[in-house]
Amino acid sequence: MIFRINNLRSKFIVVCLLPLLWLCVDIAFDNLGSNPVQALHIRLGDWSLRFLCLTLAITPIQTITKWRGMADYRQLFGLYAFFYASLHLLGYLLADHALMWRIIGIDIIESPYIWFGVLAYGIIFLLALTSPKWAKKRMGKTWKKLHRLIYIAAVAAIIHYFWQLKGNLAEPLFYSIIVFLLLGFRVLVWVKNRQLTKMMIPTGQRVLALAEKQGVIQEAPRKQR
C-alpha cells in the first residue's frame, strides 16, 4: 500500500512538470505568438495560480472523502505553486527587464498591480520555506496560523491578475469564483466546528460561563490567610 502511494506521488511529480515541458516546446518552436514575453508571463502565472487553487481544494476533498493521505498532495501542489511563481518572477526579471534594477524599481512604483504580486509571492515563499515536517514540529500552533495566509496569497494573486489585464477577464474571474467558493467552504466548516464545540460543553458549564460573561456571577473572592 505504501509503495502504491509513493508510486502515485511520483507520477504526480512528473505530471506537474508537464506544463513546463509544454512551455519549453512552444519556446523552441516559436509558438508563443506575437508577444512571447507576455505569453511567458501569463502561462507561468496561470500555472502558479492553478496549483494554488489545487492546494486550497485539498482540504474540502479531504473533508468529503475522509482520506487523510491528501495532506501529502497539498504540500506537493503548494510547492509547485511556489515553483511556477518563482519562474514567473524570474521571467519578469530576466526576460522582461534583463535584471536592469533601476527600470524594475520604476516599474514597481508605477505599476501598483505588481505590489499584489509581490505580496502573493512573499506569502507563498514563506509557506514553501516552512512546508517540511521539521518546520511544522518546531513552529507548533504558529505553523497553522501562518499557512492560513494562503487565502490572502490567492486573493492577492487574483487582484494582480485582474489589474494587469486589459481585455478578456474571463480567466481571472473563473479563478476568483473557485477561490471564493473554497474560502466559503472553509468558513462553513469553521462555523460548524465551533457549534459542535459549544454543544460538547456541559449545560451547567455553559450557563455558568454565560452568567460570568454577563456579570451576573462574579468570581468568588479568595480566602484571606
38-69 pLDDT per residue, tens:
899 999 999 999 999 999 998 888 888 887 77
Determine the Cα–Cα distance for residues 56 and 103; give it in Å rounded to an integer.
35
Domain ranges of the chain: 2-213
122-164 pLDDT per residue, tens:
999 999 999 988 998 899 889 988 988 999 999 999 999 988 8
What is the number of other CB atoms lying within 10 angstroms of the CB of residue 2? Answer: 6
What is the number of other CB atoms lying within 10 angstroms of the CB of residue 7? Answer: 10
Which pTM does this prediction carry?
Answer: 0.81
List the Cα angle 113/116/118 in 5-degree steps: 110
Cα torsion 68, 70, 73, 75: sign: negative
